[in-house]
Structure 1
Amino acid sequence: MLNELKRRNLKISGFYCPEVKHEGRRIGFKIVDIWSGKFDWLARVDYPGKIKIGKYTVLEDNVNRILADIESSTSNSDIIAIDEIGPMELSIKSMKDFILKVINSDEKPLLAVIHRSLKDSLRGGKVYTITLDNRNTIKYEILNYILINFKKT
């Protein structure tokens, strides 16, 4: 979806958090700045640290370094995208503050994936529920909604 928005010359800031596997086993997650492509570890298994989510240690210093770039790029973007808003992302105060700021702002449209455990606590805007049955087609509905309702400033 982001590639389609970029193809339409929309500038996108924000982040996504892909899983990282080694020999078929998930060993952690990265955090990737959409604007610059910079990335670092968000969380890793078997790693020392104070913030634990399940078997993962959340790496606050790494996230704060990337978050500084993410925050500065939002003023230049048309849309903010976050994939995903989940317990790991909300476990870091600076990240939680950033997420709440963009959720509560009318300044920029926000396209976000919200972890199922938070679906009732983070509401606002138009909410879509993705299922196995609709996951291949709903992206077009979401894209059309964004393009129809988006007004580039």
Structure 2
Amino acid sequence: MIKIFVTGPPGIGKTTCVYKVFEMLRLYEYRVGGFITREVREGGKRIGFRIIELDEGLEDWLANIHGTSRYRIGKYYVFIDKLDSIINSIEKRIMSYDALIFDEIGPMELLSSKFNTFIQRTLNIRVPTVYTVHHKISNELNKRFNTRYENVLYILTTDNREGMPLIIWRALSKYLTRDTT
């Protein structure tokens, strides 16, 4: 089994990269679970992040500059309850997926103890998984989480980002299986 980690500086295209992998998986009719985090802009300024569950399309705020929450990262209020709700939805069906994608493991998400426990679980189940990792925590992943499976770290750069979705797809596809019963 494989666990693929994608990291790189902010704005390099980590979400775009793994979303392209998601689209390839869907094209070949694989069932994909997980979530993508998208930034939201107003008047050219980032106001927050939405979290989108990939299987059923559930969507909610992960963080924004408006609202209230006891959790905060910089200028953003982080809505742990919304993240936990998305995690609950994925967790119910986790073993029914052919692959998983989680965008991202970052400071906001790591505020949730449920998220931490859930990510540790995904590292030790027999489902090929792709994670994006915030650049500031990519070095501490081994301290925070451990897996018994093969894991690969790709660092996204302006030079490799166009070809990276295909590289990830090829690495992932070796582990994809379908139940033929």
Q: Superposed, which structure 2 residues align to 1:91-130 within 5 Å?
A: 91-103=111-123, 105-123=124-142, 125-130=151-156
1:46–1:55 contact (8 Å) kept in structure 2: no
- 2:83 counterpart of 1:57: no
CA distance in 2, matches of 1:118, 1:101: 19
Q: Residues 118-148 of structure 1, C-alpha deviation per residue, up to 9 Å, x if partnerless?
A: 1112246011111111000121111111112
- Other-structure match for 1:66: 86
- 2:178 counterpart of 1:152: yes
1:37 partner SS:
coil
Give the root-mean-square deviation of aligned CA atoms: 1.4
CA distance in 1, matches of 2:66, 2:125: 40
My pick for the range that moved more, 114-123 or 49-58, is: 114-123
Q: Normalising by structure 1, what TM-score?
A: 0.92
Q: Residues 1-37 of structure 1, C-alpha deviation per residue, up to 9 Å, x if partnerless?
A: 1111111121100111100111111111011111100
- Other-structure match for 2:11: none
User: Which amino acid is 1:55 matched to?
Assistant: K
How far apart are 1:86 and its partner, in Å?
0.6
- Other-structure match for 2:59: 39
1:11–1:78 contact (8 Å) kept in structure 2: yes
Q: Which runs of 5+ in 2 are unaligned?
A: 1-20
CA distance in 1, matches of 2:66, 2:102: 26
CA distance in 1, matches of 2:96, 2:176: 16
- Other-structure match for 1:3: 23
How far apart are 1:54 and its partner, in Å?
1.0
How far apart are 1:67 and its partner, in Å?
1.8
CA distance in 1, matches of 2:45, 2:89: 30
CA distance in 2, matches of 1:66, 1:106: 19
User: Which amino acid is 1:90 matched to?
Assistant: L
CA distance in 2, matches of 1:61, 1:149: 33
Match of 1:136 among 156, 159, 162: 162
Q: Which runs of 5+ in 1 are unaligned?
A: none
Q: Residues 43-97 of structure 1, C-alpha deviation per residue, up to 9 Å, x if partnerless?
A: 0114321111111111122222222112112121111110111111111111121
Classify 1:149/1:70 alpha carbon distance in 2 versus 1 (closer, same or farther; 3 Å): closer
User: Which amino acid is 1:67 matched to?
Assistant: I
How far apart are 1:151 and its partner, in Å?
3.3
Q: Normalising by structure 2, what TM-score?
A: 0.79
